[in-house]
Each structure stands twice: as C-alpha cells, then as structure tokens.
Chains A and B, each alone.
Chain A
C-alpha cells in the first residue's frame, strides 16, 4: 500500500486535456484526463512565515480564494495552538457563506444551466449564459447577476476584497463588523434566501418536469457508485466551515468519521505518470484502479458528496429540499453525477439561511475577535470548498517558518471519479470507431458536474470549456482531435 508523503504536492494549473484510447474494435479502452502544468505552490511555501500562508495559498485560485484562505487560517490556528474566539469563528463562517453563495451561483447559472435550460443538443453558440438569459428572461438574468454580487459584497465587507481577501489570522480575524454592515448583510442575506428558493423552483420546472432530463440524470454513463466524503457537524448535518470528515459507503452508511488530524491515516494518494494531478483514495480500501464500488477506495466530494455523506441540512428550508431530492431520486446515496447540480442549489439555500442565522447572532458585532497565539508546531486545517473537502497541513519550525506543507485540493479528491465519469460518457458515445457528434458535450457534461477547478483557467464561464479531446486508435496513433476553446 502506498503511504502518503508529507512532502509538498503541487496545485495544478492549466487547461483540461482528455485523451481517449480505442481498442482494435474501435471501442473505448481507456481515457486519461491530463493536467500538464505545474505552479509549485507547496514547494515555494517552504521557508515562508506561516502567517503568510492564507495570503499565498489564496492565489492558487481566483475562483475559490476564500476556501484556501480559511483552510490555511484554520491550519494556522492549530499550528500556533490557539483556539479562535467564538465571535471570530462566526465571522469567518459568515464570510464563508458569502463565498459559497457567489461561487455556487457562478457554477449553476453560468456553467451548468446552459446544458439544462438551453439544452444539451442546442448549438454551442446558444449554450452560454446569454442563451440562458434569452430563454429564462432578462429579469432573471439581472437577478442572477445581482445575487452573485451580493455574495461578493458580503465576502468583501469582511475580507476587505472578495478575491484574495485579507481576513483570517491565527486565533481570529483582522476586523469585526459595524452595525451598518450588519444591516447591509442582513438585507442581502434575506434576498439571497428568496433567490435560492427561486433557483430550486427553476430547477424543478425546467429539469425535473422534463422526463428526458430525469432519464439522463439517472442513466448509467452518469452513475458512479463510489464512497462519499464531506464535513459534518455534531448532528451529522452538512457544515462548510467546521466539523469532522465523514465518509459514507454505497449504502449510505457511515464508513469513517475522523478528525482532519488523521487524514493521512485515512487518505492516500496514487500517482499516475501521465498527469500532474494526484488521485486520492481511501487507504483502508486501497487503490484498485479507476473502478467504483465497495472494493475501490475512490470517493467523491463536492455538493453531492457532502449531501450523501451527511444525514441532512441544519437549516429548515434546505433540509426540506434535501429530503425532497432523496425522495425523488430513490434514496440516499444518490449516485448520479448530474445530481451534483441539484445538490449545489440545495447548498445555495443553506448558505443563505446560514448567513441569516449568523448575522442575527448577538455575538456577531463582538469586538473580541482574536486570541493570542501560542508556540509554533504542526497544524491541520479542513474546510468544505465549493468543490469539496480541502485540507491544508503545515509543519512549522521553532521560528514559525513553514518546514513542510501539504495541500489536498477539492478537485484532487474528485480526480479519480472525474476520470471515470469521462471514460463512461466516452464509452457511451463512441462505438466501433464511430464518433457521435454529441461526444464533446456529453463528455463535458460528465466533467462539468464536478465543477472542476484544475485551474481556474479551466473554469470557463458560458459556453465551451477550453478542452482538447484526442482520440487514439489501437496502435496509439492519433485518430482524431477535437479542440474547443
């Protein structure tokens, strides 16, 4: 069994590249998702002041800087042996809900909705957010933009700026909230609750009332029976900011529940020479190749992984929607990759409801926002990024400098599953060397449901992702290449 090394792994940057290999009959033998670039974060963090880490690591990603910022801050709390004040924890979580709001809106409306609202077979020039607005109406388009901006504003009020915020410090946060700011956030939060309810209704009307879409969601090429992982609170409800890492099996039963400190006892990473991305798996089960099922250690994270790994949502409206999803899709866990989109909207509602709970908390204007730090040591931080469980692990030397850093990034956790989803979608559309014209989009849909963030650059907004699909024949000779920018 491969053991995890605490050596730095490296965050990946670049466009997605998919290689599909055919056998002698012209059927799909294998697919490879490659990430051919490297930026080297964990390496150049060595020797830095630990306090710089929330700033440096947020630069990994322009889409989810807040996730890195706080995973890092939490690792610093632990490394400096300090418990943040109760108010500081609430302020961090509040800011985090703002981030989840804008990120989930971005993904659903800009990236995913073109497939469902405009349709998977619509011409590519219509399959973008403008096509969505055209079909759903300009008023809705304005609401989408407005509420995404609200998420950003909530983040910026607490973080100074929404992209690469400056907020988290070991033991607390840099700034508290004024009464005016509380009022402002409350108004935005209220509106976000309504918008999230509206989004779920839109999903219901356009997707769930269309039998073709429901059939597509439940179809085999879009189904994977993997383990699921996510953070849960003490009642096993979904929590973005804190809790224990819970893994459930193919029957929805708890398989593991552990503190982030024990992540390396439970997760190992498999390296394939053809990609810079590493493939994490459950150590207790082992790496069995790109297979799903009980015998394979591959697991999924992200909105659907989180909902599958929990017993419900802690806020009332989101919990109702949670139950509805499982009733509609025949019980927990749901293994349909395309249900990630539904789960994402349920989480959007949870983020808005949670914003309201936190902003109404009497402690939210407290000035007691930071505790003094202790001696430097080793620290673990975990948070649920929009795309899934994110772990930062640092070892500090006695001067508080980074000796070693290891990051397990959300998308990396999904790497094995994404590779399989791409393979299954490709197998479905390529038969006897005949390449179905819908190939690219069907493959993309499998890929897109995870909201992959191999690079933020791959996080293309409306329309096509920068994606290159190369198809090789049984002699490994390039047979056809399709590029879409």
Chain B
C-alpha cells in the first residue's frame, strides 16, 4: 500500500475513522454517520485504486463518492414520497453500471507486471 498517502497513513486514518464511527453513534446524528460512511468507503477504495500513481482510478472513486454523497444529502434533507424510490433506483443503476466498469478499466494499470 505504498502510495502518496504514505505507508501507514491510510491505516491510521482508518483507525481514526473507527473512532469517528463510534463518536457518530454516540451522538446518533445522521449527518455525522453519513460523513463516516462516505469516508469509510473512500478510504478503503482510494489507496489500492491509485497504485502506480495513476489518477484515473482516483477520479473514478471521487465520482462514486460524489454520487453517494448527493443521495445521502438528499436523504438527510428529508427526501420523501414516490421520488425517493426513483432516486434510490437511479443510484443503484448508475453505480451498478459505473463501478464494475471502473474496476475493470483500471485493473491493468493497478496490476501491471504482477500477473502470472
């Protein structure tokens, strides 16, 4: 996991994230929980995606976290009614198409020279 963030930085951030998670549950605040959710998904995705100093993976992950962020903000803001189902289904379809494709496209970049 050697990358720009340093050898240990990401794991220490992950440890901090665990603390933040416990804090968000203590105050039981949806916004705090939503921030931890986004950070957790980002922190587990960004380091391996950006291996070999390639930016395309990072841009993709930022895009995914942004889509999720919009859904979370809308939900916390009181999203309700039939539009809720449309928002959820659209999110699932957009990410369902985009995320696996991003993984497949960045796979050769991340694993160049490692395959058998």
Query: Is B a genuine binding partner of A?
Result: no
